Chains A and B, each alone.
Chain A
Amino acid sequence: MEEKQNSQTSLDFNQNIFKPSSREEIVEIVKNCYRKNIPLEINGLKSKNKIGRNFQSEKTLDLSDYKGIIDYKPEELYIKARAGTPLKEIVEELSKNNQQLAFEPNDFGYLFSGESNSGSIGGVVSCNFAGSRRFKVGSVRDHILGFQGINGKGEIIKSGGTVVKNVTGYDLSKLISGSFGTLTILTELSIKVLPKPETSKTLVIKNPHLKKALDYLGKSLSSSTDPSGGVFYPDYFGKNFVLNDLTHEGGLTAIRIEGPINSVDQRLNRLSKELGLLDQELSILDNEQSNIFWNRTKNLEVFKNLKSNLLRIIVPISETLQVIQKFKNYEIKYFIDWGGSLIWSSFDQLNIKMLNEIKDIVKKHQGYVTLIKVEEDLKASADIFTIDPIKYKISEKIKRSFDPKRIFNPGKMYTGI
C-alpha cells in the first residue's frame, strides 16, 4: 500500500484548513509550513482537541480524510491503519474476528458533546488515555508496534514495525504516544490486537464507602483471580447503573473478571470468598451487562455534558484514600478507575488557587493531575500539564529534534514546546 512519494499535488496553500487524503499532500503542507514558519494545528476527529492548552496557529491540518485500514492480520495479532481512521471502524473490523484493542481507550465524546465520539486512531495514540484494563494490559503506548510519521521538516520517518518483539533502535513509538501531536504528524500506525475474552463478568459490591472500596480493589488486584477492571462509584453515581442484574442504586465497587467461561465462574467465586462478601451485598453482571457497565465507564458517561471542570488524577493506589480525604473541602464528584489509582474528578467552580492546591496535594502523594475539561478563563491561566524544570529542558530538546521550528501544535502541551 505504499503511496508514490514524488507525485505532485495540487495543493492550494491559501486555504486555512488543509484536509489531505494522501501522504504526499501532508508532506507538501509540512514542507511549506517549515519553510514559511507557519504553525499548524493538527486534528483528527476532534474528540479530544479541547484537551491541552489553547495556542495560536495559522493553519489547521485536518487528518479525518487520511483514513483507512491498510493491513489487518488477525493471526499475526496486528492491525495497520492510517492515522485518521475512526477508532470505531477499527474496533468493528477487529470484532469480526473476535479481537479487540485491549487498552479500551476512553471515549471523550459524551463529556464534550453528549454523544459518542471515540476519535481517530491517531488521536487515541497521541493522547495515550487507556481505559479500565490499564493495570493489567498496559496503556495505549504498550500496544503500539510501530508507526510512520512526518517530522517538522516534512521528512517521512518510521520506527518499530509489525512484529511484537523488536528492539531495533530507540523505541520512538513510546515517545510519540501521549505527545499530543507536538512531535510528528502520524500517518500510519501498527497496533497490537488481542483476542476478545470468551466471556466477561462483573462482581458488583453494594458499598458506598471509599475506604472499604479501596480495600476490596486492593485485595482483588493482589489476588490470583486476575481481574481486568476495578472501579468505585460513590452513592451519587450509583443510579447511573440501573441494569437488569443490578437494581441497587447506591455506591458500588465493581470488579471485572474475563476469560474462558468455566474459569471466570471459578475466579468470581473465589474472589467473593476472598473478599468475605455476603450474597446480599453483591450482584454478578453477565457478559452483556458487564460489557454495558464497562462501556459506560470507558465513556465517562457519568460526566456526560459536564458543565464544570474535569480533572484526571493519577496516584499510586496506596495514596488514593488520603488524596480524596484532602479534597473534602471542595465540591467534588469523582469515581475511581484502574483498580484504585485513577481518580476522575469533577470540581464545581475551580479557580487557579484551588487548582494549585489540588496539584500540590497530588504531587505530595507521588501523583499528577491532567486538566481534561476546564472553564475557558481558567484554561488561559492554568497549566494543563505539569512539568518540572529538568524535564521541561529535556522535552524542549526532544521537541526540537523532531520539530525544529515548532510548527506542530506549538504550545499545546507547554509554553515554548
Chain B
Amino acid sequence: MSSLQMPKVDNAIMSKKDKIALDLRGIINSKNVLSDPNELRPFETDGLTAYRQMPLLVVMPETVEEVSKILKYCNENKIKVVPRGAGTGLSGGSMPLEDCVLIAMGKFNKIIEIDYENRCVVTQPCVTNLAITHAVQEKNFYYAPDPSSQIACSIGGNVAENSGGVHSLKYGATTNNLLGIEVVLMDGTITRFGGKAMDAEGYDFLGLMTGSEGLLGVITEVTVKILKSPEVVKAALVGFPSIEDAGNCVAQIIAEGCIPAGMEIMDKALTKATNDYSKAGYPTDAEAMMIIEFDGTEHEVEAYIHKAKEIAEKNNSSSLKISKSNEERLKFWAGRKAAFPACGVLAPDYMCMDGSIPRGKLAEVLNEITRLSKKYNLPVANAFHAGDGNLHPLIMFDANDKESLRKCEEFGADILKYCVKVGGALTGEHGVGIEKRELMCEAFNDKDIQQQLTIKVALDPNSLLNPGKVYPILRKCAEEGRVHVHGGKTKFPDIPRF
C-alpha cells in the first residue's frame, strides 16, 4: 500500500513552505495556520488509517471569507488544497498530500438556524451529523441519514461523501435530505446552491457537489431537511439456516410492498463475533441473522412487522424475536453497530469493503466471497445493508505479514470487481477516495471518466482541489487497498462504523 501513487510533488512549493505560511498568516488569524510537524501530525490521516501523509501546512479558517481568500491565494500560486471535516471518512478522501495546504474546517462548528416552520436546519459544515438530531429532538424532529459514525462525522463531510446509513433504504442518503449549501470554488468564488425553497432552478449543482468528495468545492454551510420522529419504531431479530433463505426473505419483503426503515444481515462469523463482543442476544447458531426495522404509526408498524414475520417464516426462519421496548430494539442494534471492534478481537487487522449489488444477488455474491476467502486463505465476516444491497465484507489479515496484506488487497479488489460484474457498484457509501481509485475503470470506460474529468477541469482548471482522489492516475487498473484497521488501533476506535 505504501506504493500508492499520488500526484507529483511540486518541489518549488515545498521549498517555499515558510513563505506560504507567512502569506497565509497574513490572510487569516495567524494562530490558525499550523506549520510545526507536531501540530500537523493529527492531520496526517483520516479514517483510512493505512495511508498517512503529513501536509505541508494546515489552515483552520473561521469564516467563509477566509476560506475564499485561502483558495484564491492557493489557486493563484498553484498550491494543492485538501479539505477536511471531521476526518472520519473511510476511503482516504481527506488524506493530505505532501505539498498541500490542508483546510481543516473544524472551526465551522455552530448550528446557525433551526427553522421548524420550514422543517430545516441551517448549519456550519463541521457540526456532527448527530448534533443536528440532538438540536431538534426537543420538538421530536430528527435528521434522517445516519451513518454509523454519526457521533463524530461532520455534516459537511456527509455532503462531500453523500453518506448513507442503515436507514437510507427508506429515507435516502444525504443527497435526498439536503436542501442547500454554500460553497467556495477553487478560484475563491463564494456561491449558494439550493436553499430553503425546494428544487432550485437551473443545473442541479447541489446534486453535483453532493458526493463529489471535495474535488469541486469547499462546503461552508449546509441546509438539511428534518423529519418528524416516527411515533413507533420496532425491530425483528430473525435467524436463518442459510444465507439464501435470508436473501430470499429480503427480496420478498420488498416485493410485498413493505419498505422497512432498515434491513440488515450478518453472516454466522460476524453474528458470533458481535454477540461475543456486545452480548446482544443474537441467534449464534443461525447461518445468517437479520434485523428488520419498521417505523411509523402504531398500526402501520404492527401491520408491517406482521407481514415481515410471515415472510420470514415462509423462508424457513429458525428464530424470530420482536422488540418489546425501545431498549430491546437498541440492544438488537448494539451488536450490529459494534461489528468493527468485534472483528478487531478476531484478527490483528481487517479491511472493510463497501460494494453495492442488486438485492437478488446477495446469496450469489456471498458464495463468491466464501470461495475467494478459501482461495486467499483469509477469513472474512460479512455485514450487509441488505435492504439496499450494500455489502460490508470485513477481510481479516495480518498487516505485519506483507504477503497477507497483498492477498487481502487482491481479495478485496476481487470482491468489488464481482459486485460490478453482477450489476452493482464499487462503493455504496464510503466513497472512492484513494482507496478504490484504480478500480474506477471496472465501473466506467474512458469516455465516462473523461466526461467527469472535464467537469472537474471546468471548475478547477489547474486540478488543485483534492487532486489524486476518486479518479485513477495510474495508467492501468491497479489494485489498491481498503479500510484497514490494525490491532483495533484506528484513529477513532470507539466510533461505530457503517
Contact = CB atoms under 8 A, between A and B. Distances in A.
B415 to A, nearest CB: 15
Interface stretch (B102-110, B323-331, B447-455): B447-455
Contacts of A368: 197, 200-201
Among B117, B176, B204, B390, find the residue whose CB has the most chain A CB atoms closer than 10 A: B204
B407 interface: no
B470 interface: yes
B117 A266 contact: no
Given A139-B198, A262-B299, A317-B118, A162 B175 contact: no
A75 B118 contact: no
Interface in A135-185: 135, 138-139, 141-142, 151, 155-159, 161-175, 177-179, 183
Nearest to B430: A167
A198 B304 CA distance: 12
A6 interface: no
A267 B231 CA distance: 11
A208 interface: no
Contacts of A161: 423-425, 443
Contact of A224 (B231, B304, B356, B357): B231
Interface in A334-355: 338, 341-342
A402 interface: yes
Interface stretch (A35-43, A229-237, A385-393): A385-393
B376 interface: no
Contacts of B451: 151, 155, 157, 159, 172, 401-402
Contacts of A114: none
B162 A158 contact: no
Contacts of B424: 161, 163
Given A142-B176, A366-B195, A170 B208 contact: yes
A394 interface: yes
Nearest to A139: B199
B255 interface: yes
A163 B428 contact: yes
A98 B257 CA distance: 8
A172 B297 contact: no
B429 A167 contact: yes
Categorize the interface residue count of chain B. 35 or more
B480 to A, nearest CB: 15
Contacts of A135: 198
Contacts of A138: 172, 176
A161 B197 CA distance: 29
A162 B423 contact: yes
Contact of B300 (A165, A221, A259, A386): A259
A367 B198 CA distance: 9
Interface in B209-255: 210-212, 216, 228-231, 251-252, 254-255
A116 interface: no
Nearest to B213: A167
Given A158-B444, A158-B448, A317-B117, A401 B455 contact: yes
A117 B346 CA distance: 61
A170 B212 contact: yes
Interface in B419-477: 423-432, 436, 440, 443-444, 447-452, 454-455, 457-459, 470-471
Contacts of A130: 199
B454 A401 contact: yes
Contact of A195 (B208, B257, B359, B440): B257
Contacts of B430: 167
B119 interface: yes
B259 interface: yes
B360 interface: yes
B189 interface: yes
A263 B228 CA distance: 17
A367 B458 CA distance: 28
Interface string B369-410: 000000000000000010011100000000000000000000
Nearest to B436: A168
B356 A175 contact: no
Nearest to B232: A224
A168 B388 contact: no
Contacts of A390: 189, 191
B448 A174 contact: no
A120 to B, nearest CB: 20
B182 to A, nearest CB: 12
A366 B195 CA distance: 8
Contacts of B208: 170-172, 174-175, 398
A263 B230 CA distance: 13
A222 B210 contact: no
A167 B140 contact: no
Contacts of A224: 140, 228-231, 297
A314 B194 CA distance: 12
B348 interface: no
A169 B358 contact: no
Contacts of A395: 202-203
Given A155-B447, A398-B203, A401-B458, A174 B425 contact: no
A342 B440 CA distance: 40
A139 B200 CA distance: 11
A75 B426 CA distance: 21
Contact of B296 (A263, A341, A413): A263
Given A163-B357, A174-B204, A224-B228, A195 B259 contact: yes
B427 A385 contact: no
Interface in A273-320: 314-318
Nearest to B461: A397
A318 B425 contact: no
A223 interface: yes
A226 interface: yes
Contacts of B356: 163-166
Interface string A353-381: 00000000000001110100000000000
Contact of B164 (A139, A165, A183, A225): A165
B459 A165 contact: no
Contacts of B251: 75
A315 B228 CA distance: 21
A174 B207 contact: yes
6 contacts: A98-B257, A138-B172, A171-B175, A171-B207, A263-B297, A318-B117
Q: Which 10 A-B pairs have the closest CB atoms?
A: A174-B207, A195-B257, A263-B300, A165-B428, A316-B196, A397-B458, A166-B425, A263-B299, A262-B299, A401-B454
Interface of B: 115-119, 140, 161-162, 164, 168-169, 172-173, 175-176, 185, 189, 191, 195-208, 210-212, 216, 228-231, 251-252, 254-259, 296-300, 302-304, 356-360, 385, 388-390, 423-432, 436, 440, 443-444, 447-452, 454-455, 457-459, 470-471
Given A266-B298, A366-B197, A402-B451, 17 more contacts: A141-B199, A141-B207, A159-B451, A161-B425, A165-B429, A167-B428, A168-B440, A178-B201, A195-B256, A195-B258, A260-B304, A262-B302, A367-B197, A387-B201, A387-B202, A397-B459, A400-B458
